[in-house]
Amino acid sequence: MPVRPTQSYWQSNIPPEYADSRHSYTTEILYHFTCGSCQEWWSYAHSPSKMEMDLTLPDNEKFWCPHCGHSQTLKIKTGFPI
């Protein structure tokens, strides 16, 4: 098996046009839901526009289950405080 060059080798031999070839990333908030009727689960991903945001979802708005269509308000699962 060939020996991989060390990190310092790669850093010292980066061509100028790739000087900022760092990895980039985004953030995502992932909500997990369990239906109160059929007990199936699903997830919803949200990319925040700012990092200082309220993570709670509205407790007076009905959400529907994509599996059975049951529509109901939300509550945070026990043991998972926000």
What percentage of the chain has pLDDT greater than the value 70?
76
- 29 - beta bridge partners? 46
Q: 36, 64 in Cβ contact below 8 A?
A: no
| Cross-strand pairs, 63 | 72
Q: Which residue has the higher pLDDT, 56 or 13?
A: 56
Q: Is the pLDDT of residue 1 over 70?
A: no
- Report the distance separating Cα 30 and Cα 15, nearest Å: 38
The whole-number pLDDT of residue 55 equals 82
Arithmetic mean of pLDDT, 14-20 = 67
Domain residue spans of the chain: 26-82
Q: Is 57:29 a contact under the CB 8 Å cutoff?
A: no
**In this predicted model, what pLDDT tens digit does every residue of 46-75 receive, in sequence order?**
888 777 778 888 889 999 999 999 999 999
